[in-house]
Structure 1
């Protein structure tokens, strides 16, 4: 019989917490079972496989991050929205490294639930960028640039990649302010690529799994 009180949701929650401790790629069914106080075979009564557990963690993590980002940016516009979004993203990624790694996971082509939660993260990102009145052909470029900058910085910081005696938060704000200056520059809308299919209304979840993907 399955352990009383143990459900797929509780297994995923425990797996997410464990992933923050040991790393998403280091998560195993054995470790999850040990954390929950059951034998490994018993865990398969609640989740079908390690991949199913990781999928569940990824979906939960995307929902959590999207909620955090949306709350941070609500009521803000333009540069203030980007700064609030970026600060909330970094704080969450540093506080939940395993869950954050799970958000990188791209949904399967037939996984509608994963696509839906990923698209919600995209919507938050586009809403944050809406205040800059970018040309349609630059929206995806701007979203990719912001996402890549935030993700790259957070990944380096999580891996202890900054060793110089310089305030890391100050450097992060310099990065974000530099991106904002680029978004505000008139040149951003010039020499745009000829493709007319880059408007956010035509894009949903296609490339990767990270909230916020582009």
Structure 2
């Protein structure tokens, strides 16, 4: 049998004495899936983003478990050291929209006014960037994205796609944000094409204050905040 299977006799008897259990097989399969996502990200994704990607693919794996397996199998992400994080880059030559929101945070119906913001979270593995889309009608986060990069596809585009899945557009929508490049770039604006969406951006000089959804999140006393 060993000759037919082309394995050594010692290896065959070791396999008989140490059969691979179902749990170990599942772990091996999960490690393979982790390596696949890690490779597809260019070795940039850490355990938080990999666990989110796996969940989007229908694979249940908690962040602690993914982190443990990555340490065990020495799957390391490439994290650039950063000491000063700037999420809003309004110093660009892209066209910007007028401020149609004009600090009117009232909405009569869902998907009438959305505000969006990109912020950062520091973790032991490096910086993570959180993009949210908030519906002013009920103060609910209808879309969000957690990323290890500030590229539009992984931040504003991903959050927008989730928002329109969770709350499809039936009437005109006003979408407000700061003047950051992630909202002004063609990658994001292509998502708005063919839809009844009026893009709105904060006036020049407001970016440093990160108006919009972050202001709403931090101002619960005035009746505009929400709890996360």
TM-score if structure 1 supplies the norm length?
A: 0.29
Q: Which has the higher contact order (CA 8 A, sep 6+)?
A: 1
Q: Give the structure with the larger strand fraction.
A: 2
> Which structure has the highest helix share of the two?
1
